[in-house]
Amino acid sequence: MADIDTSSGGGHGKHKGGVRSKKLSTRVDLTPMVDLAFLLISFFMLTTQLSKSVAMDLAMPKKPDNVEVKPEPVAGSKVLNLIADKDDVLWYYPDVVVGGLKKTEYTPSGLRQVILKRQAEVKAKWGLDNDGDSKMVVLIKLTDDANYKNMVDILDEMELTKTKIYAIQDVNDLELEAIKNGGNANISE
């Protein structure tokens, strides 16, 4: 607690003629405050729940042993290709034929609108499956210069637009050539 020390101070005849008042010094014992601080820290450490990391479920198919897996054919009009490139550039084209690649951004007005527009086109042509989902397939491709954040942004958009069927593939040579040409592919081969 706080104490007032009255033992020191005062005149005791050192000064002539005047009476000097005693100087009082105070001393505060901080032990109870330190105890309280540690009790509060302990309380909050024990009662606070740390935030749990949020992770998206990514189901990867299991490859059967000793069986050659042949990919299931998909109509080209159900496909949307997304190619992540350097400097946060995202190229896309519908169908399976590499034609003119278009650029977009990783924003709700960019990538999300591209996906929603393609979903509407597929829904108009093919209808819905039994789950009420469009039958669109998104092929996600990353160049060597793309960064991890680009892939996470694309996967986030798959979740937000409720796109259920997507695959991660390698970029083929024709797509790389089209990217080098600013989106124009030479299909004369």
Q: Would you say 81 and 139 are in contact if contact means Cβ atoms under 8 Å apart?
A: yes
CA distance 80 to 53: 31
Name the pTM for this structure: 0.61
Q: Would you say 143 and 178 are in contact if contact means Cβ atoms under 8 Å apart?
A: no
Residue 40 to residues 29, 145, 156: CA-CA distances in angstroms?
A: 19, 50, 40
Look at residue 164 in the predicted model and tell me its pLDDT. Answer: 84
Look at residue 40 in the predicted model and tell me its pLDDT. Answer: 94
- Is 119 a domain residue? yes
pLDDT tens digit string along 111-138? 999 999 988 888 888 777 666 666 788 9
Burial class (CB in 10 A: 0-12, 13-18, 19+), 174: middle
**Domain of 111, in residue numbers:** 77-180
- Is 154 a domain residue? yes
- Is 52 a domain residue? no
- Is 165 a domain residue? yes
- Is 116 a domain residue? yes
Where helices occur in the chain by DSSP H, the ranges are 31-47, 113-126, 148-160, 173-180
Q: Would you say 80 and 113 are in contact if contact means Cβ atoms under 8 Å apart?
A: no
- Is 39 a domain residue? no
- Is 101 a domain residue? yes
Q: Determine which helix (DSSP H) or strand (DSSP E) holds 5, and give its type and residue range.
A: strand 2-5
Give the domain CATH number at 104: 3.30.420
Q: What is the mean pLDDT of each run of 10 residues along the chain (189 residues)?
A: 57 61 78 92 87 72 71 79 89 83 88 90 78 78 89 89 87 87 66
Number of structural domains found in the chain:
1
- Is 128 a domain residue? yes
